[in-house]
Amino acid sequence: MMYIVMDLLRLAATVALAFAAGKLISRLKLPAILGWLITGMIIGPHALNLLSSSVLDSGWFTISESLLECIFGLMIGTEMIWSQMKKAGPQILVTTITESLGTFLVVSAVFGVIFAFTGIPVYLALIFGGIALATAPAPSLSVVNDLKTDGPVTKTLIPMAALDDLVGALVFFLVIAFVSAHISAAGIPVPVILLLVFLPVLIGAVTGFIAGKLLRHTHKTASALAVMLAMLLATAAIGFFLNSVLPAPVLNFMLLGMSYSTVFANMVTKEQLDGMMKVMNPVIGFAMIIVILNLAAPLDYHLIFSAGIYTAVYIIARAIGKYSGAYFGASVTHAPQTVKKYLGFTLLPHSGVSLVFTSIAVSILEGPAPDCVPVIQGTIAAAAVINEIIAVFMAKKGFEWAGELYQANGGTHSHETEGTSGTKQRRNLSGRAGRIQHQRV
């Protein structure tokens, strides 16, 4: 019991430090998440060890962090209102597919050529491509929340966060099934792959529908909030149970929360939804800090200094694939110019999902192809550290170049935005040039 109390105190101190670092970074006009990421690495097991492996690997922390991921999913799902999304038509779906598959093709092709000349099995290039197409939505969405972004890029990114997880997981597990069948006799059946990818969506859709039905008969905000939270806990409980019986705990709790909240958000009135989310927003802000700390703490900053040529190639090839794929999809669907030019920058964050996919790939390779394990582990781990800091900064710049910073809730900020003609126009949204006052998570 004493150990748990000490771990809780360590976690509380870590959250306080991350919050303070976020505030400090905010004063430099950068997103608070950069402060959270840097704090996570500094206090993690590879540096000061304040947030030690004993905390990160403990059962209570794993359960708590998964539940907070589910809560974080509310931020995305409650924005996916069908009446608003259908106005975009096929744009979001097409762009999601092109940026995901574009990344897979670029990274796989680049490493396929490299491995063909270096004697490394070419199938490893497909695994690199499968890992690369995944996007971690938490960092970019924290920028959305932190810097109050709104506009075409923001409205495209939010629903894409859920769809991108689906496409990324589907492609990755299909690649793993192909490689597994190629290098061993025990391949992964395709029905099992499809089940693992879509199970969180199905569970969330069912519990979200039940919650929506109950909320239609609930008229007070406090009662509605109680119903919503009770069904959210039920959704997470189903996820915990299924993870306990699966060979590996692979269910995506953020996707559970997304699908759950998407369904009930489309079944209640705007006023009822706004009332619940007004209370939940501070909780979501806290959840974001924990999720980002859990993402950053395992990252070894020493890898920055030992990163090799594969890491640089991986980061560059992935960025080219994400940007060109998003640009192509936005072009063929006639999306606004800002979406074509800047959406790709908001899709670069990666590390949390990449590390999960890497661990799955390693478990497949370590028996039949142990020589491939150091190649994939070293490259992706180093890329996770380097890419995440660069990606958050580029996501912020993408929103800035699109002119979407501080636009939510009637944002009152003076800043420069680049129009589609390429010229810069000065906008004074508050009437007080040069004075910037905003509240950050």
Dihedral angle over CA of 227, 232, 233, 236, nearest 10:
160
How is residue 436 annotated by DSSP?
-
Highest-scoring range by mean pLDDT, 130-134, 294-298, 314-318, 367-371? 314-318
Concatenated DSSP letters of 357-398: HHHHHHHHHTTT-GGGHHHHHHHHHHHHHHHHHHHHHHHHHH
Residue scoring higher pLDDT (355 or 114) = 114
Pick the residue with more confidence: 150 or 349? Answer: 150
Backbone angles phi, psi at 414, to 5 degrees: -100, 125
For 216-308, where are the alpha helices, taking DSSP H only?
Answer: 221-245, 253-265, 270-296, 303-306
Rounded CA-CA distance 441/36 in Å is 11
pLDDT of residue 356: 67
Single-letter residue type at 113: V
pLDDT digits (tens, 9 = 90+) for 169-199: 788 878 887 887 777 644 556 666 667 668 8
Q: Is the pLDDT of residue 203 over 70?
A: yes
The domain segmentation of the chain, as residue ranges, is 60-283+315-427
Q: In this structure, are residues 426 and 416 in contact, taking their beta carbons and an 8 Å threshold?
A: yes
CATH number, span 60-283+315-427: 1.20.1530.20
Q: What is the pLDDT of residue 1?
A: 65
Q: What is the pLDDT of residue 305?
A: 63
Q: pLDDT tens for residues 250-268?
A: 677 888 998 899 999 999 9
Q: What is the pLDDT of residue 422?
A: 38
The most confident of 28-32, 103-107, 161-165, 422-426, by mean pLDDT: 103-107
Query: What average pLDDT does the segment 282-291 reach?
Result: 88
Query: Could you tell me the pLDDT band of residue 168, with boundaries at 50, 70 and 90?
Result: confident
- 176, 359 contact by CB (below 8 A): no
Question: Which letter does DSSP use for residue 302 in this model?
Answer: T
150: left (phi over 0), alpha (psi -120 to 50) or beta: beta
pLDDT(421) > 60 = no
Answer whether residue 84 shows pLDDT above 70: no
Among 19-23, 182-186, 238-242, the minimum mean pLDDT is found in 182-186
Cβ neighbourhood burial of 269 (10 Å; 0-12, 13-18, 19+): exposed
For residue 415, report the phi and psi dihedrals to the nearest 5 degrees: -160, 170
pLDDT higher than threshold 90 for residue 329: yes
Residue 69 has pLDDT above 50, yes or no: yes
Q: Which residue has the higher pLDDT, 380 or 61?
A: 61
Q: In 3-state terms, what secondary structure has residue 239?
A: helix
224 and 272 in contact (C-beta within 8 Å)?
yes
Pick the more confident residue, 5 or 30: 5
Give the whole-angstrom CA distance, residue 297 versus residue 44.
Answer: 4
CB 261 within 8 Å of CB 7 = no
Residue 114 has pLDDT above 90, yes or no: yes
In 3D space, the residue among 171, 423, 151, 405 whose CA is nearest the CA of residue 415 turns out to be 405
Asked if 432 and 171 count as a contact pair (C-beta separation under 8 A), the reply is: no
Contact 215, 264 (CB under 8 A): yes
- The pLDDT value recorded for residue 126 is 93
